[in-house]
A and B are shown apart, each in its own frame.
Chain A
Amino acid sequence: MIVTCIVLGLMVLAGLWTVMTRSLVRSAIGLALTSVILTVLMFLLGATMAAVFELSVCAGLITVVFISTISMTKALTHEALLQKTRDRLKRYWYLPALLLVGGAVLAFVLAPLPPGGALPAPATVDFAALKQMIWKERQTDILGQITIIFAGVTGVIVLFKERKGEKE
Chain B
Amino acid sequence: MPLVFVLVPLIALLAINLPLGSVGRKLGFPTAALLALLQIGAVLAAPGAWLGSPAPSGASGVAPVVGGLKLAFSADRLSLLLLLSIGIAALAALCVARGLERKEDRGGESRFYNLVILAMAGMNGVSLVTDFFSLYIFLEITAVSSYVLIALEREKEGLEGAFKYLILSVIATVMMLTAIGLFLLTTGDTSFAAVAKAVSAGQAGTGASDWTLLLAAGLFTAGLCVKGGLVPFHAWVPDAYSSAPAPVSVLLAGIVTKTTGVYTLIRLAGTVFAGAFHIELIFLVVGILTVVVGALAAMWQKDMKRMLAYSSISQVGYIVLALGAASPLGAAAAAFHLFNHAIFKGQLFVNAAAVEAQTGTRDMDELGGLGSRMPLTSWTSVIAFLSAAGIPPLAGFWSKLLIVLALWKSGHPIFAVAAILASILTLAYFLMLQRKVFFGKSLEKLGSVKEASAWLVVPALVLALVSLAVGLLFPMLWNTILVQVPGI
Binding site for B on A (CB under 8 A): 106, 109-110, 112-113, 117-119, 136-141, 143-145, 147-148, 150-152, 154-155, 157-159, 164
**B212: A residues at CB distance < 8 A:** 109-110, 112-113
Decide if A154 touches B137 in the complex (CB within 8 Å).
no
The listed residue (B70, B114, B125, B208) touching A154 by CB distance below 8 A is B114
**A157: B residues at CB distance < 8 A:** 111
Asked if B63 CB lies within 8 Å of chain A CBs, one says yes
Chain B residue with Cβ nearest A105: B215
The listed residue (A110, A119, A148, A159) touching B137 by CB distance below 8 A is A148
Beyond A118-B186, A144-B138, whether A151 also contacts B145 by CB under 8 A is yes
Given contacts A148-B137, A151-B122, 19 further A-B contacts (CB under 8 A): A109-B211, A112-B211, A113-B209, A118-B188, A118-B208, A119-B184, A119-B188, A138-B133, A139-B69, A140-B63, A140-B70, A141-B134, A147-B118, A147-B121, A148-B140, A148-B144, A151-B148, A155-B144, A158-B115
The listed residue (A112, A117, A148) touching B141 by CB distance below 8 A is A148
Decide if B148 touches A109 in the complex (CB within 8 Å).
no
Query: Which residues in window 192-206 of B have CB below 8 A to A?
Result: none
Decide if B70 touches A137 in the complex (CB within 8 Å).
yes
**A164: B residues at CB distance < 8 A:** 108
Asked if B147 CB lies within 8 Å of chain A CBs, one says yes
**A139: B residues at CB distance < 8 A:** 69-71
How distant is the Cα of A77 from the Cα of B471 in the complex, in angstroms? 63
The listed residue (B13, B141, B215) touching A144 by CB distance below 8 A is B141
Binding site for A on B (CB under 8 A): 6, 10, 13, 63, 69-73, 108, 111, 114-115, 118, 121-122, 125, 129, 131, 133-134, 137-138, 140-141, 144-145, 147-148, 151-152, 154, 184-188, 208-209, 211-212, 215
How distant is the Cα of A21 from the Cα of B192 in the complex, in angstroms? 41
Chain A residue with Cβ nearest B140: A148
How distant is the Cα of A162 from the Cα of B147 in the complex, in angstroms? 19
Separation in Å of the A49 CB from the closest CB of chain B?
15
Decide if B185 touches A118 in the complex (CB within 8 Å).
yes
Decide if A150 touches B134 in the complex (CB within 8 Å).
no
**A110: B residues at CB distance < 8 A:** 185, 212
**A117: B residues at CB distance < 8 A:** 185
Decide if B72 touches A140 in the complex (CB within 8 Å).
yes
How distant is the Cα of A106 from the Cα of B129 in the complex, in angstroms? 29
Q: List 23 A-B contacts (CB under 8 A).
A: A112-B209, A112-B212, A113-B185, A113-B209, A118-B188, A119-B185, A137-B70, A139-B71, A140-B72, A140-B73, A140-B131, A140-B137, A141-B137, A143-B6, A144-B138, A144-B141, A147-B10, A147-B118, A148-B137, A150-B13, A151-B148, A155-B144, A158-B152
How distant is the Cα of A140 from the Cα of B126 in the complex, in angstroms? 11
**A136: B residues at CB distance < 8 A:** 70
**A147: B residues at CB distance < 8 A:** 10, 118, 121-122, 141
Decide if A145 touches B188 in the complex (CB within 8 Å).
no
Decide if B144 touches A143 in the complex (CB within 8 Å).
no
Separation in Å of the B201 CB from the closest CB of chain A?
13
Decide if A158 touches B111 in the complex (CB within 8 Å).
yes
Chain A residue with Cβ nearest B154: A159
Separation in Å of the B271 CB from the closest CB of chain A?
18
How distant is the Cα of A119 from the Cα of B144 in the complex, in angstroms? 32
Beyond A140-B131, A155-B147, whether A150 also contacts B118 by CB under 8 A is yes
Q: With a 10 A CB-CB cut-off, give which of A147, A150, A154, A158 has the most chain B CB atoms.
A: A147
Chain B residue with Cβ nearest A108: B211
